[in-house]
Amino acid sequence: MKITILTYGSSGDVLPYIALALGLQESGHLVTLTAPINFEKDIIGKGLIYRPIHGDVQQILKSDDGRAWMASRDYKEFNKTLFLLSGKHSAQMQRDLIDACQGTEAIIGGSMLLLYAAMISEKLKVPLLAANVNPVLVMTGVFPHFLVASRPKFFIWNGLTYLWMAMSYEKNMKPIMDDLRAELGLPPFKGWGFLKMIRLKLPVVLGYNPALLPKPWDWSALVHVSGQWQLSEKYKTAYKPDGDLAGWLNAGPAPIYFGFGSMPVTDPQAMVNMVKAICQETGARAIINAGWSDIELAGNALNSPVYMMAYTDLEWLFPQCHSIVHHGGVGTTHLSLAAGVPTVICSVFADNAFWGERLQKLNIGRHIPYKDISQGAIIKAIAELEKEEPRRLAREMADKMNAINGVQRAVDFINKHLPTARPYAD
């Protein structure tokens, strides 16, 4: 079957879908992956059919509009700013998504593109499935939608957060959806798409690990928590670390890792100074991974307590670290836990606080909101994770997570439900 996967966002929103697409391709499907243009080489390099969504997400997030989006303090502000950001790119995005789906026989939509996927599914009359790396797209009373709250309250309130989020999002996105529907020759958007997808009995696969967050009891068999979508070994390129980095790692004790991935740090030099101060006070060594932040990479001496870099393979690096401090994106969170290393999440945006609270509850990590980051707070969090119990629990979590083949479980679920999945109908 010809399947088109639509996804959009930063690395944590795109790279897992490469693994999922390869798994579906191996099971006999012809898969097209649609994603932002800054991931073109990653996708084509793995032998997949690629269709672009124009606009470099890295540059968008580093823009004033992107920073305003990441500074959103509640879900209503988040959705309003997302609409303003989307509106500037919506016409091109609509053309890209429509072009990508021509000739397809099924569409799999990621969360940020699920409404777009639904409209195109309706026009083409092809089955629609949903896939995301976070616990969204379906409501539960066990925990809230992570954009509304990071901690659960009571059952009914938790469930209602998904409706509040969906209605706020769709209210803001209605003008864009109406433009898309007009482009497709469909009547204006009516009602609430989220509720219609529930009635449609939309199959949903979620690519995070059930050992970390088990499937709630109130989800049906049409919702599957597969485990994280990671490349199998045969698709991985052997990683050769920079000689300076390998030498630095071997020259002293395991370091603390500091990195904020695709979240541009607003004051990079302040973060560098804080890490240096932590090393001076504790005697630890540290690695700073600039990611998408504008950090000046100074020369790294072999005896320097701090090593700064722009990129490395985190799957290779994390097992060599003593502790890991990062923003809390679902992808980085899974990599740190799969390495069996206690993790401090300094939450910046979106799902970060949700995963930070989850790790803290399981006593395999600590959560510090980004606005509350300080030298003392990080030193205290790392010291608490020095104890034997958090380290034992982190190792046990790694064993459980690594025993699950998330891609294969997701592919099996999709193949099971493709024959009965239906097109969206407004």
Cα 322 from Cα 253, distance rounded (Å) = 8
Question: Between the CA of residue 63 and those of 83, 196, 269, what are the distances in Å?
Answer: 15, 35, 19
Q: Which two tokens stand for residue 137?
A: 């797209």
* Whether residue 78 has pLDDT greater than 90: no
Residue 227: left if φ>0, alpha if ψ -120 to 50, beta else—which one? Answer: left
Give the global pTM.
Answer: 0.90
Mean pLDDT of 24-29: 97
In the numeric block, the tokens 């939309």 are attached to 202
* Whether residue 58 has pLDDT greater than 80: no
Q: What is the SS3 assignment for 396? A: helix
**8 falls in which pLDDT band (50, 70, 90)?**
confident
**Structural domain spans, the chain:** 2-227+404-420, 236-402
**Looking at this protein, which amino acid is placed at residue 276?**
K
Q: Which of these ranges, 83-87, 251-255, 274-278, 417-421, has the smallest mean pLDDT?
A: 83-87
* Whether residue 24 has pLDDT greater than 80: yes
Which tens digit of pLDDT belongs to each residue from 199-223? 999 999 999 999 999 999 999 999 9
Mean pLDDT of 402-421: 97
Contact criterion met (CB below 8 Å) for 206 and 414: no
* Whether residue 89 has pLDDT greater than 80: no
Residue 24 burial class via C-beta count within 10 angstroms: exposed 0-12, middle 13-18, buried 19 and up: buried
Closest CA to 342 of 369, 322, 370, 316: 322
Please give the pLDDT value at position 265.
Answer: 60
Please give the pLDDT value at position 122.
Answer: 96
Residues contacting residue 350 through CB under 8 Å, at least 6 positions apart: 78, 146, 147
Please give the pLDDT value at position 294.
Answer: 58
Q: Which two tokens stand for residue 105?
A: 């026989």
Q: What is the SS3 assignment for 133? A: coil
Which tens digit of pLDDT belongs to each residue from 111-157? 789 999 999 999 999 999 999 999 998 999 999 999 899 999 999 99
Please give the pLDDT value at position 273.
Answer: 87
The single-letter DSSP state of residue 421 is: -
Please give the pLDDT value at position 266.
Answer: 64
Q: Which of these ranges, 39-53, 68-82, 356-370, has the smallest mean pLDDT?
A: 68-82
The angle at the Cα of 216, spanning 205 to 343, to the nearest 5 degrees, equals: 80
**Residue 20 CA to chain centroid, in angstroms?**
14
Which tens digit of pLDDT belongs to each residue from 152-177? 999 999 999 999 989 988 888 888 88
**Residue 11 CA to chain centroid, in angstroms?**
7
Please give the pLDDT value at position 402.
Answer: 96
Please give the pLDDT value at position 74.
Answer: 61
Question: Between the CA of residue 239 and those of 224, 233, 235, 260, 389, what are the distances in Å?
Answer: 32, 12, 12, 21, 32
Please give the pLDDT value at position 13.
Answer: 82
Which tens digit of pLDDT belongs to each residue from 228-287? 999 998 888 888 877 788 899 999 999 999 987 555 566 677 888 889 999 999 999 999
Strands of 106-109's sheet in order across: 49-53, 30-36, 2-6, 106-109, 128-132, 204-206, 223-225
Reported as type and span, the H/E element at residue 179 is helix 155-184
Cα 75 from Cα 187, distance rounded (Å) = 28
Q: What mean pLDDT value characterizes the chain?
A: 88
Please give the pLDDT value at position 12.
Answer: 79
Please give the pLDDT value at position 426.
Answer: 79
The CATH number, out of the four listed (3.40.50.2000, 3.40.190.10, 3.40.640.10, 3.40.1360.10), of the domain defined by the range 2-227+404-420: 3.40.50.2000
Cα 103 from Cα 30, distance rounded (Å) = 11
Q: What is the SS3 assignment for 384? A: helix
HEC readout, 48-108: CEEEEECCCHHHHHHCHHHHHHHCCCCHHHHHHHHHHHHHCCHHHHHHHHHHHCCCCCEEE
Fold type of domain 236-402: Rossmann fold (3.40.50)
Give me the helices (H) in 283-350, please.
314-317, 330-338
Closest CA to 333 of 365, 311, 309: 365
Contact criterion met (CB below 8 Å) for 100 and 51: yes
Please give the pLDDT value at position 317.
Answer: 94
Which tens digit of pLDDT belongs to each residue from 321-363? 999 999 898 999 999 999 999 999 999 878 999 999 999 999 9
